[in-house]
Amino acid sequence: MAVSRFWRKLRHRYNLIGTHCTTCNTYYYPPRKMCPQCRRDGRIEECRFKGKGVIVTYTVIHAAPENKAVQTPYVLGIVQLDEGPRLTSQIICKPDDARIGMRVQSVFRKLGEDSEQGMIYYGTKFIQD
């Protein structure tokens, strides 16, 4: 990943900072500049999610990209935050322990690295709450 590309989204990855449309009370992550429901009538404000949610679905990754191969098998899930939005994230648990409906909370972890010489990418993952 290009360093600049990650850097632009850095604060949204370090903390779950998204947006909230005050017109229709819908929350978005990643952040949106325009509410797709309210369009011109939408009023968007930045919001920080509490980092708690529930696993909607998940899969277990056995064949991973090279820079994540050391972590296999690992759980990749879709988490629905308590405020509403859904995001894809690694779930830190044994594959046998993961289950749909499991309460999770955000933690700060390494997301990956380019190489031994390259940039280290940090951000949000989830553990059981």
Partner 1 sequence: MTNIGIVSYGAYIPRYRIKIEEIAKIWGDSPDAIKNGLKVYEKSVPDIDEDTATMAVEAARNAVKRKNIDTTRIEAIYTGSESHPYAVKPTSTIIAEAISASPILTAADVEFACKAGTAAMQMCMGLVKSEMIDLGLAIGSDVAQGAPGDALEYTAAAGAVAYIIGRDELAAEIEETYSVTTDTPDFWRREGMPYPEHGGRFTGEPGYFKHVTLAAKGLMEKTNTAPEDYDYAVFHQPNGKFPLRVASLLGFTTKQLKPGYVAPYLGNTYSGSAMMGLAATLDVAKTGERIFVTSFGSGAGSDAFSITVCDCIEEIKNKAPTVQHLLENPLYLSYGMYAKHKRKIKV
Tell me the sheet residues that pair with 20. 27, 45
Nearer to partner 1, 22 or 72 (CB): 72
- Of 6, 12, 15, 76, the one binding partner 1 (CB under 8 A) is 15
* Whole-angstrom distance, CA of residue 44 vs CA of residue 27: 9
Part in contact with partner 1 (CB under 8 A); list of ranges 23-31, 32-40, 79-87, 102-110: 102-110
Assess 56 for contact with partner 1 (CB under 8 A). no
* Whole-angstrom distance, CA of residue 23 vs CA of residue 36: 12
Assess 1 for contact with partner 1 (CB under 8 A). no
Is there a contact between 91 and 73 (Cβ–Cβ < 8 Å)?
no
Assess 108 for contact with partner 1 (CB under 8 A). yes
Assess 61 for contact with partner 1 (CB under 8 A). no
The 10 Å Cβ neighbour count of residue 104 is 24
Nearer to partner 1, 34 or 107 (CB): 107
Interface mask toward partner 1 for 72-101; x: CB under 8 A: ------------------x-x---------
E strands, the chain, are 17-21, 26-28, 44-48, 52-61, 74-81, 86-92, 103-113, 120-128
Instruction: Name residue, tokens 């930045």.
Output: 46
- Applying CB under 8 A, the residues found at the interface with partner 1 are 10-11, 14-15, 70-71, 90, 92, 107-111, 120, 122, 125
